[in-house]
Amino acid sequence: MIRIIIALVIFLSAMAISPLLIDEKGYILIAMGNTTIELTVLSAGIMLTLLFISLIFGLKIFRGTLNFSFGTWTKLAYAGQRKGIANFNKGLAAYMLEDFSQAEELFAKSAIPSKRKQSAYLLAASASAKLNLDSNTNHYLALLEQETMKLDDVGLESVLVNVKLLMNQHKPETYVKAREIIDEHHKQIGHDSRLLSLEIDLCIIEERFNQAIEYLPAARKSKLITDETVKAWEAAAYYGSFKESIKRHDTNDLQDNWNGIARKIKQREGVVLAYCKVLAENNIVEALNDILVPIFKKSATSEFLKTIRDLPILHADKLIALAQKQLQQNIHSGKWLSCLGHLALNSGQYSLAEKSFTSLIRLEEKDYGKQYDQQDLQALAKAYSKQSLYQAADATWLKASSL
């Protein structure tokens, strides 16, 4: 626009001074070989001005044409990518709406044209995993692996999703693949709680219990891992470690394993229960009593007594005597009636188990509140069955199923 204004100013200026040059025309002579061109100063000025203006307009038209051509070419060249991005966005919407079949199809279709292969293949794998299509999931993970081999820096989040998708298939071959990926990024375990969690889960699955135990202090310090999760890991890892000791060696090795644990850890209920479970399963009565008798004497908590209900304690005479002693002090204690009933049932004293559970249920009638649960009723039904009291057993099973 400025150039046009300048050109007009020059043209108008030339027109203004042209009358002054009429009387003194002046000549310009241009000779090229045998050709001679003779112009007055006025006509040469006018021609140059018109030529300048023509050049400006011609340049502007050329640039406009060039921009139009380039824009058209850009639209045509990137049409596929725009469509791929649109499909990727539609896939995200379908995934959020839990239409995983449609999401998988859209992500797979958009991976290459959208140039978002890593994200698209991960999301496609996740969508197929939601549909339990393991073959599709593994296909997308294989494509992802081929693609990420070309990248200098694979995001840790991609690694985490990859490992989780493999582990969620619950197959030996996918666990092996998950282990390979974790080992490749092993240095990140101490810096990222998410990878640490996957490592502990995988160690427990692989029965590498001692390795899982070594990771527990770091997991306990992490603010991103809940205490309930750590307790679950701790119980599973120590149970596996104790069980491994007695399977591969003998009771002495199991005892050494227990004695080698720090006193602070021995006080945790999950670890104590894991040790007691292995002792009970192998009928190591003396060592089991060494652990439980002091706890019973100190009046164990209701939560702990509930955890030992499933222990297969076949010889529980000492523990039964302690439970009865606690009941002498408080005959309306629901936790000790329940504990006595389960100990008696597991050790084959069915009549005592029946009496304990019926007394527990009657506490509700005596306005002491309901202190039994479904597991207590199921145990009472078993006690009835063992005594061939099938009608009472059936009635108790029906009551238990209604809770």
One-letter amino acid at 42 equals L
Distance CA 25, CA 18 (A): 9
Distance CA 152, CA 138 (A): 23
Structure tokens at 364: 């509700």
Q: Are 247 and 265 in contact (CB under 8 A)?
A: no
Distance CA 292, CA 297 (A): 9
Distance CA 194, CA 137 (A): 21
Q: Are 178 and 170 in contact (CB under 8 A)?
A: no
Beta bridge partners of 39: 28
3-state secondary structure of 310: coil
- What residue spans of 24-155 are helical by DSSP H? 41-77, 79-96, 100-110, 117-130, 134-148
Residue of 77, 108, 82, 112 lying closest to 95 (CA atoms): 108
Structure tokens at 402: 């209604």
Burial class (CB in 10 A: 0-12, 13-18, 19+), 190: exposed
Q: What sign results for the dihedral spanned by CA atoms 218, 220, 223, 224?
A: positive
Upper half-sphere CA count for residue 54 (Cβ side, 13 Å): 6
User: pLDDT tens per residue, the chain (403 residues)?
Assistant: 666 666 566 655 655 555 555 555 566 666 666 676 666 666 666 676 677 777 776 776 766 665 555 555 445 445 666 777 777 778 778 777 778 788 778 877 777 776 677 777 777 788 878 788 888 887 777 777 776 544 344 577 778 888 888 888 888 888 998 898 888 888 887 778 898 999 999 999 999 999 999 999 999 998 889 999 999 999 999 999 999 998 876 788 899 999 999 999 998 989 999 999 999 999 999 999 999 999 998 878 888 899 888 898 989 999 999 999 999 998 999 999 999 999 999 999 999 999 999 999 999 888 888 999 999 999 999 999 999 999 999 999 999 998 7
